[in-house]
A and B are shown apart, each in its own frame.
Chain A
Amino acid sequence: MELFLTVCVTSLTLGLLYALFAIGLGLVLRGAGEVNLAHGDSLMLATYVGVGTLHVSGARSFGVLASVAAGAGLGVLSYLLVYAPVGARRATGVAGLGFLPALGVALVIRNVAERVNPQGSQGVRSLFAGGRVNLFADYRLPAAGWWVLGAAIVVPLGLAVVLRRSGVGRRVRAVADDPLLARAAGIPVTRTLAVTYAAAGAVGGLAGALFASFFGQVFVALGWQATLKGFVAAVLGGIGWLRGALLGGLALGVIESFVSGYLSTRFRDVVTFLLLVAVLLVAPRGVLAGSRLRQV
């Protein structure tokens, strides 16, 4: 029983973290039609910025803010410097350029992080306040776990309100649905897409800070892990604006935890990727509806 409850808690915390990774990827996939393979590495580097800021300033809130701001900044920067010019010339239609630029950006960012932390991993103290809370038996969840739960509720709700109600949200959705029409209607497409990338990066920065605080470590390999897990979650949930990411993240957390709890830890990732392949095959158009991935 205790094992079952622990696996449930693990599913939930991991799943919500994956969901937060997936929200950033989903925003860009839905809003700009790109598979941003640099999302994870950006949020990883942003987390290092946050941890460094905490170290220097000693203030937790500064650390979190720095992580969020660095995430947003990296998102805007990579959009303006790479994705925008590439996107403008995409019409020439060279197959295989789909996510290659993002992969290039990811590798450049990863190299920066490798230089920042040559050891590859760094122990950190929590960027979020609070002590451990007893859940059941003698399982005590660290404070960051509750912040993960809170963020996984507040972030999607907040984003949903902004997307539905605010002017900028409407512009983001208009550009996502049809950039040409949006441009004709007088919406500044480049600036709006920059906002989309900034929002995605900011959510990433927050997710990274939560991840590092929950586990007490930040490491370079987190970047690619976050990209892969977030992407699988986004695909599992079906790429909508937000709900899909949340459901997909939770599903992935549950599947991973139960596979390693009751089957085998060695083949956990095989199961994960088999699911990815299966979902992409069974319902490619369904899950990827609305994204501008080249399907022909």
Chain B
Amino acid sequence: MKRRSAVLLAGLTLVLGACSSDTSTTTASAPTTTAASAQTVTIALGGPFSGASKSTGDKIRAGAKLAADEVNSSGGIAAGPLKGATISFKEFDDAGLPANGASNIRTIVDDQSLIAFVGSGISDVSVAMAPVASQAGFPYLSAYASSPKVLEAATAQKSVFVVPPTFPAYSFSVTDVLLKDGRTKPAIIHGTGTYGDGVTDLSVSRLKAKSITPVANESFAFTDTDFRTQLAKIKSAGPDSLIIVGLANVDALILKQADELGLKVPFYDPGGVTNSDQFLKDAGPLANGLVGNTPTYAARNTDATNSLRAGYTKATGESVVPDPAVFSYEGVRAVAAALADGAKGRQDLPDHLRRIHIADTGVGSLRFGADGSRIGGRLYVFRVNNGKPEYFTSFEQTGPQEVKEVPLG
């Protein structure tokens, strides 16, 4: 019996070993590449392609593929030593787990056929990956993860870039609207962790710059469902507004419980999570009056925007281009632009990434500052009215810690 179990195990191991041994898959992007002589540049595409955040991963893939298709169908890389080369991807699944991302990036950096990394959904994953890329001087473009810690973690060489606006832009845009609304006694309720604590600390410092201290600052774990104790504490502090740093489903719970407790103040969420169907549906009429923000402006109407939207709709059948798709699209566009700018390979790609300037990607202008953060990333601020977001202003990121208000358009 005992021997049999050992034999069984050995057999199982062998059978499994016989299955395909490489978990990453290569997806050739455009079937239109016929010129056999044309070169191909391969980008490592990372994200949660499985697991709980799979939908984010699917969007990252769709956006990146759209950008590659555009480049490839217009004759490949436009100029430079790699002129005419087409873009293809090799996918690396992190399942939304930092440990997986950390192990992926080592494989990626070692694989000399890969020219850059684009992707990764969640901030924790990017924070785990960025230092390894930075050590190797490997070009790493974080699409979607917007924690400044991604850049702070890249201490060795400046090869890490963050495509979306970073936390300060998110935090300051809504906090500035709150100040402009004349609130002087805001309270805060926030989730703990990279995202919750990060955005909250920035909002507190922004308020402090105007000599305002929150009357209460309560925290919760993202797995919690009952916030009545924290909300009661907040209510007893007598605030005139409440900043919520949560997630779509958590925000809906907080609004509902605040209503039960009779905490009737205007709500502000700087996290960019409230422009989602899930939140607006779950919160219902309670969402009315809430001020939120998002990096993509639904009513933007430029040629580039309309072409991005049309391309995405054609490729996926979805009418709205979601944030992860937008930023992976921009990431791939940035790599293509840097190659066209004269980059020869992974070594000098970071320098060229810092030199490019795409006037309008469909979301806005794209260029990077010396530290790798995006210059000119925009956040659009809205107030929910009758269950729909009504945009009224926007903020542009002008430096790692600076924003300025710019009119819509």
**A interface residues, Cβ below 8 angstroms from B:** 2-3, 6-7, 9-10, 14, 114, 118-121, 123, 132, 137-142, 215-217, 219, 221-222, 225, 257, 260-261, 265-266, 269
Q: Say whether B282 faces chain A, with CB atoms less than 8 Å apart.
A: yes
A3 x B232 contact (CB < 8 A): yes
Query: Beyond the given A141-B260, A219-B225, A219-B249, could you list 10 further A-B residue pairs with CB under 8 A, ordered by the A residue number?
Result: A2-B236, A3-B235, A10-B232, A114-B52, A118-B52, A119-B55, A140-B262, A216-B253, A217-B252, A266-B192
Answer yes or no: B281 CB below 8 A from chain A CBs.
yes
In the assembled complex, the CB of B47 is this many whole angstroms from the nearest CB of chain A, namely: 16
For the complex of A and B, the 7 pairs showing the least CB-CB separation, nearest first, are A138-B262, A123-B282, A6-B232, A121-B249, A261-B229, A3-B236, A10-B228
Please, could you name 11 A-B residue pairs with CB atoms under 8 Å apart, sorted by A?
Answer: A2-B235, A2-B236, A7-B229, A9-B228, A114-B52, A121-B249, A216-B256, A225-B223, A260-B230, A265-B219, A265-B220
Contact of A217 among B54, B229, B236, B249 (CB under 8 A): B249
CA A265 to CA B278, docked complex, whole Å: 27
A138 adjacent to B261 (CB under 8 Å): yes
With a cutoff of 8 Å between Cβ atoms, the chain A residues found around residue B355 in the complex are: none
Binding site for A on B (CB under 8 A): 52, 54-55, 192, 218-221, 223, 225-226, 228-230, 232-233, 235-236, 249, 252-253, 256, 260-262, 278, 281-282
Q: Which residues of A contact B219 (CB under 8 A)?
A: 265-266
Q: A139-B261, A140-B260, A217-B282 are in contact. Are A6 and B249 (CB under 8 A)?
A: no
Contact B218 A265 (CB under 8 A): yes
The CA-CA distance from A137 to B260 in the complex, in Å, is 11
CB distance from B149 to the nearest CB of A (A): 20
Q: Which of B52, B54, B221, B226 contacts A14 (CB 8 A)?
A: B226
A55 CB to closest chain B CB, in angstroms? 13
User: Bound state CA distance, A139 and B231, in angstroms?
Assistant: 12
Q: What DSSP secondary structure best describes chain B's contact surface?
A: helix
Using CB atoms, name the residue of chain B closest to A145. Answer: B260
Task: Determine the distance from Cα of A115 to Cα of B13 in the docked complex, in whole angstroms.
Answer: 28
A180 to chain B, nearest CB (A): 28
Q: Assess the A221–B223 pair: CB atoms within 8 A.
A: yes
Asked, given contacts A10-B226, A118-B55, A123-B249, whether A261 binds B261 with beta carbons under 8 Å apart, the answer is no
CB distance from B264 to the nearest CB of A (A): 8
Inter-chain CA distance A266–B262, complex, in Å, is 25
Interface centre among B54, B233, B235, B260 (most CB of A within 10 A): B260
What are the residues of chain A within 8 A of B228 when measuring CB–CB? 6, 9-10
How far is B249's CA from A14's CA once the two chains are assembled, in angstroms? 20
Most chain B Cβ neighbours within 10 Å, of A9, A121, A137: A121
Chain B residues with CB under 8 A of A222:
225
* Nearest A-chain residue to B219, judged by Cβ: A265
CB distance A215 to B229 under 8 Å? no
The CA-CA distance from A257 to B256 in the complex, in Å, is: 19
User: Which residues of B are found within 8 Å of A10, using beta-carbon distances?
Assistant: 226, 228-229, 232
Could you tell me if A123 and B278 are in contact, using CB atoms closer than 8 angstroms? yes
Q: Is there contact, CB below 8 Å, between A261 and B278?
A: no
In the complex, the chain B residue whose C-beta lies closest to that of A137 is B262
Q: How far is the CA of A14 from the CA of B227 in the complex (A)?
A: 11
On chain B, the residues within 8 Å of A260 by CB distance are: 229-230
CB-CB under 8 A from B192, the residues of chain A are 266
Known: A2-B232, A14-B226, A140-B260. Is A123-B52 also a contact (CB below 8 A)?
A: no
Q: Inside 8 A of B261's CB, which chain A residues have their CB?
A: 6, 138-139
From residue A63, how far is it (CB to closest CB) to chain B in Å?
A: 18
- Closest-by-CB residue of B relative to A259 is B229
List of B residues within 8 angstroms of A266 by Cβ: 192, 219, 221
Chain A residue, CB-CB nearest to B233: A3
With the chains together, A17 CA to B302 CA distance in Å? 53
Distance between Cα atoms of A269 and B219 in the complex (Å):
14
Whether the Cβ atoms of B282 and A216 lie closer than 8 Å is yes
Alpha-carbon distance between A141 and B192 when the two chains are bound, in angstroms: 27
Of B54, B220, B256, the residue contacting A118 (CB under 8 A) is B54
- What's the Cα separation between A50 and B229 when bound, in Å? 29
Q: Which residues of B contact A118 (CB under 8 A)?
A: 52, 54-55
**Which residue of B has the minimal Cβ distance to A216?**
B256
Q: Which residues of A contact B252 (CB under 8 A)?
A: 123, 216-217
CB contact between A215 and one of B55, B223, B225 (< 8 Å): that residue: B225
Q: Looking at the assembled complex, report how far the CB atom of B192 sits from the nearest CB atom of chain A, in whole angstroms.
A: 7
Distance of A251 from chain B, by nearest CB (Å):
17
Contact across chains for A257 and B229 when beta carbons are under 8 A apart:
yes
Complex Cα gap A14–B52 (Å): 27
A231 vs B256: C-alpha distance when bound (angstroms) = 28
**A217-B281 contact in complex given A132-B260, A137-B262, A266-B219, C-beta closer than 8 Å:** no
Report the minimum CB–CB distance from A8 to chain B (whole Å): 10
B229 near A6 with CB under 8 A, answer yes
Residues in B whose Cβ lies below 8 Å from that of A219: 225, 249
A153–B256 alpha-carbon span in the complex (Å): 26
In the bound complex, what is the Cα–Cα distance between A139 and B263 (angstroms)? 9
Instruction: Name the residue among B218, B219, B229, B233 with the largest chain A CB count within 10 angstroms.
Output: B229
| A9, closest chain B residue (CB) | B228
- Report whether A142 and B260 are in contact in the complex, using a CB–CB cutoff of 8 Å: yes
Measured between C-beta atoms, what is the minimum distance from B54 to chain A in Å? 7
| CA of A142 to CA of B226, assembled, Å | 14
Which among B54, B220, B249, B253 has the greatest number of chain A C-beta atoms within 10 A? Answer: B249
Chain B residues with CB under 8 A of A137 = 262
Please, which residues of chain A bring their CB within 8 A of the CB of B281?
Answer: 123
Contact for B278 among A2, A119, A215, A221, CB less than 8 A: A119
Q: Determine which residue in A7, A138, A260 has the highest number of CB atoms from chain B within 10 A of its CB, and name it.
A: A260
| Distance between B371 CB and nearest chain A CB, rounded to angstroms | 32
A142–B192 Cα distance when bound, in Å, is 28
Closest B residue to A261 using CB positions: B229
Contacts of B221 in A (CB 8 A): 265-266, 269
A178 to B29: give the CA distance in the assembly, Å: 68
Query: How far is A9 from B262 in the complex, measured between Cα atoms in Å?
Result: 14
CA distance A123 to B250 in the complex (A): 10
